[in-house]
Amino acid sequence: MAEFVMNPADEVLLDPIRKTGAGFWFALAGLLTMVGFGAVAYLTQFVNGLGATGLHEPVSWGFYVTNFVFFIGISHAGTLISAILRLSKAEWRRPVTRMAEVITCMVLLVGGGQILIDLGRPDRLLNVIQYGRYQSPLLWDATSISAYLTASTVYLYLPMIPDIAILRDRTTKYNFLYRVLALGWRGTQKQQKILNRAITIMMVVVIPIAVSVHTVVSFVFSMTLQPMWHSTIFGPYFVVGAIFSGIGALIIAMLIFRKAYKLESYLKPIHFQYLGQLLLVMSLLWFYFTFAEYLTAYYGGEPEEMKVFFSKFTGDFRWEFWSMVGCNFIIPMACLTSLKKNPIPRVLTASIFIVIGMWLERFIIVVPTLSNPRLPFRLGSYMPTWVEWGEFTGSLGVFALFYLLFTKFFPVISIWEIHEGRHEGVEEVMHRVKSYLPDDAEHAPPPQQQPVAIAAKAVVP
Amino acid sequence: MALWGMVIDLDRCTGCESCVLACKAENNVPAVGATEAEKGRVLSWMEVLSERDEENGVTRFIPRPCMHCDDPPCTKVCPVYATYRNPQGIVAQIYGRCIGCRFCMAACPYNAKFFNWYPYQKEAPNQNPDVSLRPKGVVEKCTFCHHRLQKARENAAAEKREVAPGEYNTACAESCPAQAITFGDLSDPTSEVARLAKSPRAFRLEAALGTHPKVIYLTEGEGRG
C-alpha cells in the first residue's frame, strides 16, 4: 500500500481522539475516585503496617495474592489470544487484537503492583535484586512477568505504528508525540514487509512467554508442601483459568467501547459469537481441570488434603466454592451453548460471571489451604478489611483508567488492519481456501464465476 | 561441627507454658495486646499446641518451637536469603533484609513463623540487650536462642578453648520445670540429646514431608497411648 487512502467510514475510529464528550469526563471522575480510594487505603497500610488488613496467622496471604493471580490471569487475554488469532490467520481477529493487547499491558502493571502492595517492607524491594535467590519461585515470577510485559508492550506497539502515522498525518492534537512514535512510517512496501516480519516474530515469541507466566505464578503455590497446593497440574490449570478469565474481561471491554465509541459496525455480533464459543471451550476445559484436581485429592483421601477439601465443599468456604462453580461452569453452559441469534447479551452475562467466578477461584485456592494448617494450630477466619477492598477497587480503577487514557491517544481498533482486511484479506482468504482443496480445483475454470461455486465444484469428483 | 537440636519428651510435658514465657522474655517477643491477639496475631516463638485424644480421653500437649529442619521448606522460597540454614543447622532470620512477602510463612508446614503486622516491638526497659528488636513488616521465629551460642563462643574464645557441652542452652530448656526439653549437639554421640534422639519413643512432626526436623519428640508412655 503505497499511498494510504483511508476509507471515510473508518473516520469513526479516530473520533475518540479528536473529540471528548461528557461521558469521558464522567468516566474519568468515577475512575479517579476509585483510584483515590485505593490511594487512601494504601497510605493507611503503608503508615500503619499490614496490620491494617485482615491478615493474621495462619492466613498470611489473602486479597493481595488473590488479586495478583487474578490480574496476571486477565493479562493472558490479550497477547495470547491476539497472537493465537493472528497465527491461525483468523480473519475475524482484525477489530479484536488491539483491544486484547492493550488489556495485557495495562493489567500486567496492575498485577505486578499487587506484589508490591502485599510486601511488609516495600522500601526493601530492591533487596530482590541485590540479594536475589533464584531458588525462590517469586523470582521466577519476576523474571517471567517482566519478560511478558516487555514482549507484550512491543507486540502492542508494532502493529500500532501505521496507525500512529495516520494520526500524525491527520490530526493536529499531540502531533509531536505521533511524529516521534511513528518512527518515520511512510507505508512503503519495504517498511510493510519489515513490519509484518517483526509482528510474526513477536507473536511466536509471546506465546511461550505468556504460558510461562501463569505457570510460574502457579508454582508459587505448587512448589510448597501445603495440602491442595502441592499439585502437578497447577501450571496448566492456572494457564487455562487465565485465558478463560482473560477472554471474559476482553469481551466486557469490547462491549463497553462498542457502546461508548459507537463501534457497532466493527464489532459485530459474529465477533461475539466466536469469542463466546471460545469462552465455552475454555469453560469446559476449566471444569475438566477442576474436576481432575478435586477428584484426585478426594480419592486419595489424605487427611490433610481432606481438611482443605471439605472446608471448600461443605465448610467455611462453601459459599465461595459453589458460587465459583456456578459462575465458571453452570452459567456459562446455560448462556453459551446456543449463540446463533442475538449472542451479545448472553455472551456479556457469561463474561461478567466468569470474571467474578475466576476471582473466586483464585481466592478459593489461596485462602482455604492457609486456613487449615497441618498442626493443631489456632484457627481463625479471614475477613478482609476496608483497606483490602480499597486497594482492590483502586487497582481496578487504575487498570480502567490506563485503558481509557489509551483510547484517547490511540485508536482502539487497528485502522490499517481493517483496511488491509478490506483490500487484501478477502482475496487472500479466497486463495487460501482454494489451496486447501484438491489440486484439480486449480484447473477448474472461470474466474468470473463465484468463488463459492468453484469450491463446490471442486469437491465433486 | 556441631549440629544443634532439641528433644522434647511429651510424657514429661505438663502444658504449663513456662517455656513459652521464658522464650518471650529471653527473645524480646512482644505482647501484642488483646485486640490483636483476638485477630490471631499473637507472636509466640515457642507455643504449646494442645490436641484432644478422644480414644484415651486425654489432652496432649505439643510444645512447638521452630523445627530447624535440615531441609527447610521456608528457606528455599525466600527471594532474598533473609532466612537460611547455617552450617550448624540453625535456621536463621535476617530481620534487616526481609522484605515481608510472607512466602516462608505460607511454605512452613509447622506454622512456626510469625509476622510483625504492626510495629509491635518498642524500646522498653528490661529487654534483653543481646537480641535485636524487630521492626514492622518482617518475619520472625525461634532462633534456638542463637545469641546464647554467640556468647558461649565469645567466652570460649577469650579463654582459648572450645565451647563446652552444656555451655549453650536455650531458654525454654532451662526453664522447663519437668525437664521435658533437652537441648544440645546432635552430632556428638555422647551428648544427652543425641542419646534421647535414638530412643524408640522418638518421632518427628510430619516426618513424611521429608523436612528432617532437628526438634525430636518422645511419645507419651504406654499408659497415655
Residue of B60, B115, B120, B141 to mutate, interface with A, max A Cβ within 10 Å: B115
* All cell numbers assigned to A107: 493489567
Q: CB distance from A118 to chain B under 8 Å?
A: yes
Query: What's the mean pLDDT in A140-144?
Result: 93
Test B79 with A375 for CB contact under 8 angstroms: no
How high is the pLDDT of residue A1?
44
Radius of gyration from C-alpha coordinates of chain A: 24
Beta-carbon contacts of A282 under 8 Å, excluding residues fewer than 6 positions away, are A240, A243, A244, A247
User: Among candidates A90, A241, A248, A83, which has minimal Cα distance to A151?
Assistant: A83
Looking at per-residue confidence, does A3 or A38 come out higher? Answer: A38
Radius of gyration from C-alpha coordinates of chain B: 17
Alpha carbon separation from A386 to A41, A389, A394, B22, B115 (Å, rounded)? 8, 5, 12, 37, 21
What domains are defined for chain A? Answer: 8-413 (1.20.1630.10)
Query: What's the mean pLDDT in A5-19?
Result: 81
Alpha carbon separation from A346 to A215, A230, A249 (Å, rounded)? 31, 37, 14
Query: What's the mean pLDDT in A416-440?
Result: 86
Q: CB distance from A143 to chain B under 8 Å?
A: no
Chain B residues with beta carbon closer than 8 angstroms to that of A220: 103
How high is the pLDDT of residue A154?
93
Test A131 with B39 for CB contact under 8 angstroms: no
Dist. CA A167–CA A174, nearest whole Å: 9
Residue A155 phi/psi, 5-degree rounding, is -70, -25
How high is the pLDDT of residue A454?
46
Alpha carbon separation from A177 to A4, A171, A182 (Å, rounded)? 21, 11, 9
Chain B residues with beta carbon closer than 8 angstroms to that of A138: 77, 79, 101, 103
Closest residue in A to B41 (Cα) is A56
CA–CA min distance B137, chain A (Å): 4
Q: Find out whether the peptide bond into B30 is cis, omega within 30 degrees of 0.
A: no
User: Among candidates B30, B26, B213, which has minimal Cα distance to B115?
Assistant: B30
Find the angle CA(A60)-CA(A63)-CA(A64) to the nearest 5 degrees.
Answer: 85
Total-model pTM:
0.92
Dist. CA B39–CA B48, nearest whole Å: 19
- Read off the pLDDT band of A376 (50, 70, 90): confident
Chain B residues with beta carbon closer than 8 angstroms to that of A54: 39
Q: CB distance from A451 to chain B under 8 Å?
A: no
How many C-beta neighbours within 10 Å does residue B16 have? 15
Chain A residues with beta carbon closer than 8 angstroms to that of B78: 133, 136
pLDDT tens-digit profile of A27-56? 999 999 999 999 999 999 999 999 999 999
CA–CA min distance B65, chain A (Å): 12
Q: Locate cell 525437664: which residue?
A: B179
Tell whether the model's pLDDT for residue A419 goes beyond 90.
no
Find the angle CA(B150)-CA(B155)-CA(B161) to the nearest 5 degrees.
Answer: 110
Global ipTM:
0.91
Dist. CA B172–CA B24, nearest whole Å: 9
Q: CB distance from A187 to chain B under 8 Å?
A: no
Q: CB distance from A405 to chain B under 8 Å?
A: no
Chain A residues with beta carbon closer than 8 angstroms to that of B39: 54, 56, 380
Q: What is the CATH number of the domain that holds B42?
A: 3.30.70.20
**Neighbouring-strand partners of residue B181:** B8
- Read off the pLDDT band of A171 (50, 70, 90): confident
Residue A256 phi/psi, 5-degree rounding, is -65, -50
In the 8-state DSSP scheme, what is residue B214?
S
Dist. CA B103–CA B139, nearest whole Å: 10
- Read off the pLDDT band of A446 (50, 70, 90): low
Kindly give the parts of chain B with pLDDT less than 50. Answer: 225
Tell whether the model's pLDDT for residue A148 goes beyond 70.
yes
How high is the pLDDT of residue A447?
55
Residue type for position A450: Q
pLDDT tens-digit profile of A57-88? 889 999 999 999 999 999 988 887 888 888 88
Test B77 with A136 for CB contact under 8 angstroms: yes
Chain B residues with beta carbon closer than 8 angstroms to that of A370: 106
Residue type for position A416: W
How high is the pLDDT of residue A422?
86
- Helix residue ranges, H only, B113-182: 146-158, 171-175
Q: Do residues B9 and B219 lie in contact, with contact meaning Cβ atoms separated by under 8 Å?
A: no
Domain count, chain B: 1
- Read off the pLDDT band of A426 (50, 70, 90): confident
Query: What's the mean pLDDT in A312-317?
Result: 92
Dist. CA B183–CA B174, nearest whole Å: 9
Residue type for position A421: G
User: Among candidates B219, B193, B224, which has minimal Cα distance to B6?
Assistant: B193
Would you say the C-alpha torsion A182, A183, A188, A189 has a positive or negative sign?
A: negative
- Read off the pLDDT band of A457 (50, 70, 90): very low
Dist. CA A25–CA A21, nearest whole Å: 7
Q: CB distance from B12 to chain A under 8 Å?
A: no
How high is the pLDDT of residue A442?
56
Residue type for position A391: E
Indicate the SS3 state at residue A177: helix
CA–CA min distance B206, chain A (Å): 8
* All cell numbers assigned to B186: 546432635
Q: Locate cell 510424657: which residue?
A: B11
How high is the pLDDT of residue B217?
95
Chain B residues with beta carbon closer than 8 angstroms to that of A137: 77, 103
pLDDT averaged over every residue in chain A: 89
Q: Across the interface, which of B40, B80, B135 has its CB nearest the CB of A133?
A: B80
Test A58 with B111 for CB contact under 8 angstroms: yes
The end-to-end CA distance of chain B, in Å, is 37
Chain B neighbours among A 97-116 (CB < 8 Å)? 115
How high is the pLDDT of residue A461?
42
Q: Which of A213-227, A410-424, B72-86 has the lowest mean pLDDT?
A: A410-424
Residue of A63, A136, A370, A382 to mutate, interface with B, max B Cβ within 10 Å: A136
* All cell numbers assigned to A260: 461508548
Query: What's the mean pLDDT in A258-284?
Result: 92
CA–CA min distance A302, chain B (Å): 12
How high is the pLDDT of residue A420?
87
How high is the pLDDT of residue B113?
94
Beta-carbon contacts of A270 under 8 Å, excluding residues fewer than 6 positions away, are A92
Determine the structural domain holding residue B24 and report its residue range: 4-224
How high is the pLDDT of residue A330?
95
Residue type for position A79: T
Q: Across the interface, which of A51, A61, A133 has its CB nearest the CB of B117?
A: A51
How high is the pLDDT of residue A452?
52
Buried b (16+ CB within 10 A) or exposed e, A265-292: ebbebebbbbbbebbbebbebbbebbee
Q: Do residues A44 and A52 lie in contact, with contact meaning Cβ atoms separated by under 8 Å?
A: yes
Max mean pLDDT range (A170-179, A271-280, B49-58, B214-223): A271-280
How high is the pLDDT of residue A444?
57
How high is the pLDDT of residue A459?
46
CA–CA min distance B69, chain A (Å): 14
